[in-house]
């Protein structure tokens, strides 16, 4: 292969690589960072201890609630329960938090009543955003 042919081939390869790189839409590098390290805060003001049984967040793109794994946590009255999580698939969209919990039954030891829910307000999700649910 001659020197001219080698240079032309190298130039053609470089040009093809450059065109291929610009033909693909660039994914924003920050997209996966939007909903990382989100601060979830639950304040128990029910007058009784509660047991948190589920923690969910709204995924507006899929139009459904997504569950965040959580242990069943007992929170005394007047106390705060908090977690830092990543809300996957939300990015920089408006979302909210839903907490499902139970109050103790009026009779019996260790028995919990029917499931209840509390909600945070809607806010655009971003790194370090605080979602607070006050349970009354």
pLDDT digits (tens, 9 = 90+) for 59-77: 999 999 999 989 999 999 9
* Dihedrals phi, psi of 117, to nearest 5 degrees: -130, 150
CATH number for the region 35-134 comes to 2.60.40
Output the CA–CA distances (angstroms, integers) from residue 55 to 6, 12, 13, 90, 106, in the order listed: 62, 55, 52, 15, 25
Instruction: Inform me whether the pLDDT recorded for 100 exceeds 70.
Output: yes
What is the pTM assigned to this prediction?
A: 0.72
pLDDT tens digit string along 18-58?
545 544 344 444 445 689 999 999 999 999 999 999 999 99
**Residue 102, beta-bridge partner list:** 51, 115
As given in the structure block, the two tokens for residue 1 are 């292969």
Give the whole-angstrom CA distance, residue 125 versus residue 35.
6
Query: What confidence score (pLDDT) does residue 119 get?
Result: 98
DSSP 28: P
Instruction: Using pLDDT thresholds of 50, 70 and 90, give the confidence band for residue 98.
Output: very high
């Amino acid at each position: 292969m001659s020197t001219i042919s080698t240079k032309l081939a190298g130039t053609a390869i470089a040009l093809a690589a450059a065109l291929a790189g610009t033909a693909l839409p660039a994914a924003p590098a920050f997209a996966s960072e939007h909903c990382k390290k989100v601060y979830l805060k639950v304040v128990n003001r029910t007058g009784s201890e509660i047991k948190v049984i589920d923690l969910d967040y709204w995924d507006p793109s899929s139009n459904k609630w997504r569950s965040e794994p959580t242990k069943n946590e007992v929170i005394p009255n007047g106390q705060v329960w908090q977690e830092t999580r990543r809300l996957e698939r939300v990015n920089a969209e408006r979302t909210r938090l839903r907490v499902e919990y139970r109050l103790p039954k009026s009779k019996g030891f260790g028995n919990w009543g029917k499931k209840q829910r509390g909600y945070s307000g809607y806010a655009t999700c971003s790194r370090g955003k605080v979602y607070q649910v006050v349970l009354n």
